[in-house]
Amino acid sequence: MSKKDSILVTGGAGFIGSNFVLTWIKEIGSPVINLDSLTYAGNRNNLQSLNDDSRHIFVHGDIADEALVARLLSEHKPTAIVHFAAESHVDRSIVGPDAFIKTNVFGTFSLLQSARAYYAGLNAEPQKAFRFLHVSTDEVYGSLAPDDPAFSETTPYAPNSPYAASKASSDHLVRAYFHTYGLPVLTTNCSNNYGFYQFPEKLIPLMILNSLEGKPLPVYGDGQNVRDWLFVEDHCSAIRAVLDRGRLGETYNIGGSSERKNIDVVTTICDLLDELAPSEKIGSRRKLISYVKDRPGHDRRYAIDARKIKQELGWEPAAQFESGIRKTVEWYLANQDWVENVRSGAYQQWIETNYAERVAR
């Protein structure tokens, strides 16, 4: 890809999307058209460092607006669409699944329709270069027992939440557009991300911010649920590798090789904050841990087998959990203005809605 070739990124003001845009501009340097509807998790402040950078073109709009997407494709002629735009919080999908079906299923369908029309109108050389990369999740595979082998690209789909089901649906649509229409697609399924700019309803930023303020640290169930944690900048580098060298129509699992129990993630954060931001008033942050009622359908374990992307594309994560989580905690400590800007009334209302009935036990 040349420095002049642009890409269209959907959901590029969200957590993973904004990290991808920032690292793309830094590492690749070609223009990014960033389409985001700026729902609660989309934040223009994530991209503040690009305010004066002509390579970043922000467009406030919906992926389901086919006229808008068609205009952007016609005007900028991107060589790729990287599709992050999604509702992505399991707890929110349990409370209100409608938005997940609308964005993740119908939104992806609309975007595929737009991409298909655009691709059909390209000449031979631009067609050869064009890619549609769909970013998905390991949650489509369901849940693992403690001794089960990790999820591979051939693991059958078994989604257990409305969020996971909506992403599974979008994955199937992307696959169908490759096999039926010849759209040059790529799909990635990643494990749990953490890092800079993550909306503070998710486990790691919620624990960091509550710990700083001496608030209870709500841990679902017995805290023994296991996730494979992937530092967001590693995820971004993997997506760049798939976009550059991935085989058309293929799926690539992206993992951090860092399986951790939820309770161990929380205690690690407590200990880091006791070290980096000690408080005589709060004392040991571990005392703040509060076990609460588990969420419905809580998958017990996720784990990613990432051998395919390593063997085919030479990618593997650069950060282990210990180094990545320290960088993350340090970032939140250094960016309190960003934190306060995103902790709006809508965020506070959600926290109250989700945790009010989960009484500590």
DSSP notation for 149-203: PPB-TTSPP---SHHHHHHHHHHHHHHHHHHHH---EEEEEE-EEESTT--TTSH
pLDDT of residue 98: 93
Whether 62 is a known active-site residue: answer no
pLDDT at 344 over 80: no
One-letter amino acid at 325 equals I
Q: Which of 118, 141, 163, 177 is catalytic?
A: 163
Of the residues 138, 228, 234, 259, which is catalytic?
A: 138
Which CATH code for domain 7-191+231-254+298-320?
3.40.50.720
Beta bridge partners of 67: none
Which among 36, 62, 139, 233 is annotated as catalytic? 139
Can you point out the beta strands (E) in 48-177? 56-60, 80-83, 131-137
Who contacts 257 (Cβ-Cβ below 8 Å, separation ≥6)?
Answer: 228, 306, 316, 317, 320
| pLDDT of 352 over the 60 cut | no
Which tokens is 62 given? 């919906």
Looking up tokens 């109250």 gives 352
Q: How confident is the model at residue 3 (pLDDT cuts 50, 70, 90)?
A: low
CA dist., res. 15 & res. 196, Å (int)? 8
Predicted local distance difference test score (pLDDT) of residue 360: 46
Average pLDDT (153-176) is 97
**Span of 36-40, 136-140, 164-168, 214-218 with lowest mean pLDDT:** 36-40
- Mean pLDDT over residues 279-302, rounded? 93
Query: Which among 105, 106, 94 has a CA at the least distance from the CA of 160?
Result: 94
Residue 348 has a pLDDT of: 47
b/e sequence 130-142, b meaning 16+ C-beta within 10 Å: bbbbbbbbbbbbb
Confidence at residue 193, expressed as pLDDT on a 0 to 100 scale: 97
Kind of pairing, strands 131-137 and 185-190?
parallel
Note whether 114 and 62 are within 8 A (CB): no
Contacts of 175 (CB under 8 A, 6+ apart): 185, 187, 249
Q: What is the pTM of this model?
A: 0.92
Closest CA to 153 of 321, 310, 317, 318: 310
Please say if the pLDDT value at position 234 is more than 50. Answer: yes
139 in catalytic set: yes
Question: For this structure, is 347 an active site residue?
Answer: no
